[in-house]
């Protein structure tokens, strides 16, 4: 099962707002989105902050899967990856609370990627009537920060996870080391091994 569809290569910043066609100024903050478009899979669409705040979105039946804020760099070599660590975390946080099945799967796969990159860590799991829930903290956070964030495990099998992780690495244009890292994820002492850690072993 292809969780994220076929392998896509999402482009870098387009350099202009999709709603107004205005070119971004160097270092301007804009909103980048991943949009699922029928017949095209996942595509990237960029908006100015003003246009996004005013409600600009892709026309139906296209739908936003996730979004994050970024700075426009005219030089495409200015950034190694499509998303830096802060942008990956923002994309992950922006999907918190979603009830859309595809977004739940996408957020779970993002969580596995963030675990591999040591940006979040698993501190426990619990089973509910709706499935397994992973409890996570960001790197450097402790229980003093408050309750951990939760990630729904959509119950994907190992082959689906491996397939989706390969697609996600290509999708996010992450470096080879992050995509290939299979070191066991560290969790809090006494915390149960999570589905994410098992999938990486």
The three-state DSSP-derived secondary structure of 112-173 is: HHHHHCCCEEEEEEEEECCEEEEEEEECCCCHHHCCCEEEEECCCCHHHHHHHHHHHHHHHC
Over the stretch 42-86, which tens digit does the pLDDT of each residue have? 788 999 999 999 999 999 888 888 888 888 888 755 555 667 788
Over the stretch 19-42, which tens digit does the pLDDT of each residue have? 999 999 999 999 988 888 777 667
């Amino acid at each position: 099962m292809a969780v994220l569809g076929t392998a896509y290569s999402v482009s870098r910043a387009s350099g202009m707002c999709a709603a107004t066609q205005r070119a971004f100024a160097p270092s301007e903050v804009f909103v980048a989105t991943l949009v699922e478009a029928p017949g095209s899979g996942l595509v990237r669409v960029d908006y100015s902050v003003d246009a996004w705040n005013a409600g600009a979105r892709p026309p139906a039946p296209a739908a936003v899967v996730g979004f994050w804020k970024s700075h426009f760099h005219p030089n495409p070599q200015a950034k190694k990856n499509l998303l830096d660590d802060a942008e990956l975390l923002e994309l992950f946080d922006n999907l918190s609370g979603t009830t859309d099945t595809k977004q739940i799967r996408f957020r779970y796969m993002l969580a596995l990627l963030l675990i591999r990159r040591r940006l979040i860590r698993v501190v426990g799991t619990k089973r509910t009537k709706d499935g397994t829930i992973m409890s996570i903290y960001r790197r450097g956070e402790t229980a003093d920060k408050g309750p951990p964030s939760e990630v729904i495990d959509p119950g994907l099998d190992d082959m689906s996870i491996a397939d989706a992780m390969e697609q996600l690495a290509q999708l996010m244009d992450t470096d080879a080391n992050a995509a290939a890292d299979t070191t066991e994820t560290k969790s809090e002492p006494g915390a149960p091994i999570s589905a994410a850690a098992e999938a990486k072993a």
